[in-house]
Amino acid sequence: MSESTGSPDLSALADLDRLVHEPARLAVMALLYVVESADFTFLMNQTGLTWGNLSAHMSKLEEAGYLKVEKSFKGRRPNTALRLTPLGREAFQEYARRMKQVFQDFPT
Amino acid sequence: MSSQINLKEIERKAFRSTYQDGLWDLYLGLIVVCMFIFVYRPAEGHSPTNIVLALLGVLLARSLFWAGKKFITLPRMGQVRFRAMRKQKEKTTLAIILGVVVFIQVGMVGLTTLSWLNHEVAAKINGFLKAGDLMLLVVAAIGSLMVGVSMILIAYFSDFPRGYYIAVMMWLAVFLMIYLNQPVYPIIIGGLIILPGLVLFVRFLKEYPLPREEASHE
C-alpha cells in the first residue's frame, strides 16, 4: 500500500486468484455465492454460457475444491445441483475484498 | 466498487426470474374466476354445492400450477434453491398475513361483543347499517380488504412486482362480487389477471426451449 504517494497498490492485482478472476467463472461463482445451490440448466440460463463452456469451468472449479457437485434423480431425469464449498465462498470473498481494495485506492 | 449491491441485484434477478413463466398470474387469475362460484348468491339461496365447486376449481388451478412448474418451467429454466434469508421472508409473509386476518377478525368480534354488552351501541350500529342499506357495503369492504391487503403483503415479501397489480384486481373483484352480486365481475377481472400471465407464458416457452439432454451434466 502506497498511501504516501496516493497511487494504488497494484501488487494486489498480481495476487488475485486467477481461477476466480476469469469472467465466466466469476459470473458462475457470483451466482452460486448468492444462492444455496443451483442446477446446471439454471446456471446456463442465468450466465448465458453454453453447455460445453460451463461444463469446462465447472470442472476447474470442482478440481480446485471451490465447487461441490451433487448428482441425483428428479423422477427419471438426472439432476446436477451445484453449490460453493466453504473454500469457494472464502475464495470469492477474498477476491471481492482485493478488487475492492484496488479500486478504492485508484485516484478519481 | 459496490460489490454488495451488485450481489444483491444478482440474487434478486435470479429470484425474480422464477416468475418469468407467468404461472403465478395464471394461478391467481383462475382463483379469482373460481371465486364467483363461491360468493355468488343466487335468488333461490346459497347452496353448499357452490362451496364444493369453488374448492374443486381452486384445487384444479393449484394442480395446473404445480404441473406447469414441474413439467414445463423447471426442465426449461432449471432448479435453484435460495438462501435462508428468502425462506425467512416467506415465514414473515405468512405471519403478517395471519396477523392482518386475525386483527380484522378480532375487530369484528370486538364490535359484536360491544353491541351485546351495550344495547345502545348495537341499536346505533344496526340503525346505521340498515338505514343506508350499508350491510352489504361493509361486508364487501371487509372481504376485499382482507384479500387485497394479504395479496399486497405477498407481493411485497415475495419480491413479486406484478403481485401489486394482481392485489388491486383481486380487491376490486371481491368488492364488486359481494356488493353487486354479479358473477361477470370476477370472470372479467380474473381474465385481466390471466391475460398477461398467458402472454408471459408464451414468451417464456419461446425464450426457454427444452435444453438438450447433455445439459443435465451427466
Other CB atoms within 10 A of residue B3 CB: 15
Contact B159/A at CB under 8 A: no
Q: How many residues does chain A have?
A: 108
> Are A105 and A8 in contact, with CB atoms under 8 Å apart?
yes
Question: What residue ranges do the domains of chain A occupy?
Answer: 16-101
Q: How far is B88 from chain A (nearest CA, A)?
A: 14
Least confident of A91-95, B19-23, B88-92, B126-130: B126-130
Higher pLDDT, A31 or B2: A31
Quick: pLDDT tens for B120-133.
Answer: 777 777 777 776 67
Q: Is the ipTM of this complex over 0.90?
A: no
Supply the mean pLDDT for chain B. 83
Query: Closest Cα partner for B162 from B152, B175, B176, B171?
Result: B152
Q: What distance lies between CA B147 and its chain's CA centroid?
A: 7
Residue the block writes with cell 398475513: B97
Quick: pLDDT tens for B142-177.
Answer: 888 888 888 898 888 888 999 999 999 999 998 988
Rg (C-alpha) for chain B, rounded Å, is 22
Rounded Cα distance, A94 and A105, in Å: 17
> Are A32 and A88 in contact, with CB atoms under 8 Å apart?
yes
Higher pLDDT, B167 or B53: B167
Going by pLDDT thresholds of 50, 70 and 90, the confidence category of residue B213 is low
Contact B217/A at CB under 8 A: yes
| CATH (residue range A16-101) | 1.10.10.10
Arithmetic mean of pLDDT, B16-35: 91
Query: First-to-last CA distance in chain B?
Result: 38
A40 closest CB neighbour out of B13, B78, B81? B78
Instruction: Give percent of chain B with pLDDT exceeding 70.
Output: 89
Whole-structure pTM over 0.80, yes or no? no
Other CB atoms within 10 A of residue B53 CB: 14
Judge: B10–A30 Cβ closer than 8 Å, yes or no.
yes
- Sign of the Cα torsion A84, A88, A90, A91 reads negative
Query: Closest Cα partner for A53 from B147, B214, B91, B40?
Result: B214
Quick: pLDDT tens for A64-100.
Answer: 999 998 888 777 777 788 999 999 999 999 998 888 8
Contact B78/A at CB under 8 A: yes
pLDDT of residue B180: 84
Contact B161/A at CB under 8 A: no
Rounded Cα distance, A86 and A82, in Å: 13
- Helix (H) or strand (E) holding B3, with range, is helix B3-16
pLDDT of residue B197: 95
